[in-house]
Amino acid sequence: MVKKRIGCRTLVMGALFTASFFLLIARTFWVQYVDSGTLLAKAQATWERSDAINPKRGDILDRNGQMLAYNGKAFTVVAQIKALSEGKKNENYVVNPVETANKLAPLLNMPVQQILARLQSKDRKQVELRPGGWKIPKETADKVKALNLPGIGLYEDSRRYYPYGSFASHVLGYTNRDGIAQLGLEWAQDKQLKGQKGSFTFKTDRKGNQLPDGVESYKPAVDGNKMILTLDHQVQNYVEEALDNATSQYKVKGLTVIVADPNTGEVLGMGSRPTFDPNSPTGVDSYRNAAVSTNFEPGSTFKIVTLSAAIEEKLFNANDQYMSGVYNKIKGSKPIRDHNEGRGWGVISFKEGVKRSSNVAFVILGYEKLKKERLFDYIRRFGFGEKTGIELPGEEKGLLNFEHAYDRDVASMSFGQGVGVTAIQQVAAVGAVANGGKLMKPYIIKQIIDPRTGKAIIDNQPRVVRRVVSENTSKQVRDLLDAVVNEKDGTGQPFALPDYHVAGKTGTAQVVHNGRYVPGKYINSFIGFAPKDNPKLLVYVVVDEPDIDNPSAGGKIIAAPIFKTVMEKSLHYLKMSPDTASGKTITVEDETAAVPPAAGKSLGEGKQLARAAGLSYEVLGGGNTVLSQYPAAGDELAKGAKLYLVTSKSGVKLPDLKGRTLRDVIEIAALLDVKVTEVKGEGFVLTQSIPPGATVKKGDKLSIELSPKSAGTPSEPGAAPK
């Protein structure tokens, strides 16, 4: 009996051991072959950590290297609202939420209640004080830090900065605080600018601390490419100033200005109103870039196409005569009248008709002589009805109703009615007349440069789309457009300049809404180029719905000052010698000078070199030898501007920096071994913490305040664009 009981127990124990053995084998198989991936992932999550490395977004610069958009330091305000661990009463966290919210609200531009709601969150121990405390500039972060509020901290981040505010904002676009591109070139060229994220993986202990030599893999970030535009900072500044002056004097729905080189298609300036500040794009009336994204009836500026086509087809004789006033030869259609209520000017020549912008003259040229097929062919050849291909997003192709055009439609198109165009199409088309007959592709990106190699991966060059008219036709059209501006009875007389022959054409069109013309609402424009026989610049100004006593005259009242200011200042800036109405050419003394190599020479020699170049100078230090200089030799300065000559490293007095750019301040501070520790605002120096004339020593800290108001007009210009 005992033996039997022992035998049973032995069998049971053996069975249990055997079953356990097979279970162990089965479990081992499951772990090693079936569930190995899941378990390995869990283990790796315990001992491995991976982090992304964000790339630096590429800078955007003008053609002369002026910074228009860049990534810089930013800071986010973080509130520790509860102790991280129970029982640690001395831990740094927000003790008094109400007091904290009241002190932070004015700095972060947030309502007190909004901050308080975040500070009193029930389910979190730490919160970011968004939106006002999210990615703030250093000067704001310093003010927050100075409050020394319990539980309030900052962590460093980066954000996109646009140093000149609304300057060329429709062209540049912007990225939001998350770094996501939204508009303009930022959006259209996002792949080029954003770069590629990097990563690294490292081993940690059970507490998450990185182990020595624990890095397993590393993939460096690839910074975004640098983009150089065709825009010229100074020309763009003339555009911005002219637009600001116009909007301060007149109420308009919109304004658009484009400045281009008709010989290359390069866009040197482009601006619109209303505008926005890409640093804080809130409450914006319009993000649309009207220069490329708005279709509108051009009015009489479109007559340049009809005129060019008629001359090219040898259907135009300037001395032929016709009866102006009313054209009533289209059966079943209302008469077409000249803009002076159909009164006309009697029997006049076609040259007079062009000068006076007679609708009847262009109906005869387009509808009667060219006829539908040839007129439409030239409209297409000049680039209308298709996109120009400029790199900006949202470009429209215009509105052309060729397939269902009746006789009245053909007649209307000949003088710019019943056709929709964009401003950039107009610039390209009239540029072809200015440059000798070649339609150039407009472009605004000059180069895209790989920051790793410094080499251009995209290098845009002028591209001829096609020849649209002959050089002889181009010359005849330029002469006629010159008469529009510079001869008696020409509609473009308000756009004439005293020192340059301007050739151009005015335009006035009624606003179309829901397929009907709106009484009393107009789009006024002027497109012109100069000098007439050797055009260097083309400027197009569009005034949308001016609110003035005589809105149909908005082109002359509002557009003329804009055009004249932008054109004249830009030609002078580009060192273009004036040509007078008498035909004489006036040689203008060069207004810029190359900075001489003064460093390493005696102080006397340095002064003499500065005077010989037409520059003023300021000596920094009491030595007899020029140790260093700013600007560097070879840079260009406006004549009369200041060259700094450093003659010693001690006992140097800080110069007056007012009106200088941030770049100038950094360069001058580097010469004197002074550290620029705080920069407030954007634009040009308004105030400096160390007063002018104070003696500075190595390591002194300088803070400056900038203001955009003096943009482009510093008290003493720094290096001029090359």
Residue 528 to residue 483: CA distance in whole angstroms: 12
Asked if residues 126 and 79 have their Cβ atoms less than 8 Å apart, the reply is: yes
- Backbone phi and psi for residue 487, each to the nearest 5 degrees, phi listed first: -115, 160
Of 346, 344, 370, 372, residue with least CA distance to 358: 344
Assess whether the previous peptide bond of 531 is cis (omega < 30° from 0). Answer: yes
For residues 684 and 696, what is the distance between their CA atoms, to the nearest angstrom? Answer: 22
What tokens does 293 get?
A: 């994204």
> Which residues partner with 71 through β-bridges?
160
Count CB neighbours of 109 within 10 A: 13
Q: Kindly state the tokens that stand for 188.
A: 């259209």
CB 715 within 8 A of CB 673: no
State whether the Cα torsion 405-410-412-418 is positive or negative: positive
* Selection from 638, 619, 630, 610 nearest residue 722 by Cα: 638
Compute φ and ψ for 299, nearest 5 degrees: 70, -145
| H helix or E strand, kind and range, residue 145 | helix 138-147
Q: How many other C-beta atoms are found inside a 10 Å radius of the C-beta of residue 303?
A: 27
Q: Which residues fall within 8 angstroms of residue 72, CB to CB, at 6 or more apart? A: 158, 159, 161
Cβ pair 412, 405 in contact under 8 A = no
Instruction: Judge whether 300 counts as a catalytic residue.
Output: yes
Query: What are the distances in angstroms from CA 197 to CA 55, 160, 221, 530?
Result: 6, 17, 5, 48
Measured distance CA(706)–CA(689) in Å, rounded: 12
Say if CB 438 and CB 468 are below 8 A apart: yes
Q: Which entry of 166, 293, 300, 525 is annotated as an active-site residue?
A: 300
Query: Under DSSP, is residue 223 helix (H, G, I), strand (E, B) or coil?
Result: coil
Bridge partners (DSSP) of residue 181 are 175
Token pair 């845009």: residue: 460
In angstroms, rounded to a whole number, what is the distance separating the alpha carbons of residues 722 and 716?
17
End-to-end Cα spacing for the chain: 114
**Which amino acid makes up residue 280?**
S
Write the CA distances from 222 to 193, 199, 214, 446, 449, integer angstroms: 10, 11, 23, 22, 13
Residue 467 carries which side chain, given as an amino acid letter?
R
Measured between alpha carbons, how far is 535 from 537 in angstroms, rounded to an integer? 6
**Cα diameter, the chain:** 144
Q: What are the φ/ψ torsions at residue 527 (nearest 5 degrees)?
A: -125, 130
Asked if residues 431 and 478 have their Cβ atoms less than 8 Å apart, the reply is no
Angle at 346 between CA 342 and CA 348, to 5 degrees: 115
What is d(CA 259, CA 271) in angstroms, rounded to the nearest whole number? 9
Structure tokens at 15: 């069975």
| Full strand arrangement of the beta sheet holding 592-594 | 592-594, 636-638, 719-720
Contacts of 75 (CB under 8 A, 6+ apart): 135, 136, 137, 138, 140, 141, 144, 154, 155, 156, 157
Measured CA to CA, the distance from residue 649 to residue 628 in angstroms comes to: 10
CA distance 237 to 261: 17
**Beta-ladder partners of 61:** 67, 228
β 226-229/60-61 pair status: parallel
Active site positions, annotated = 300
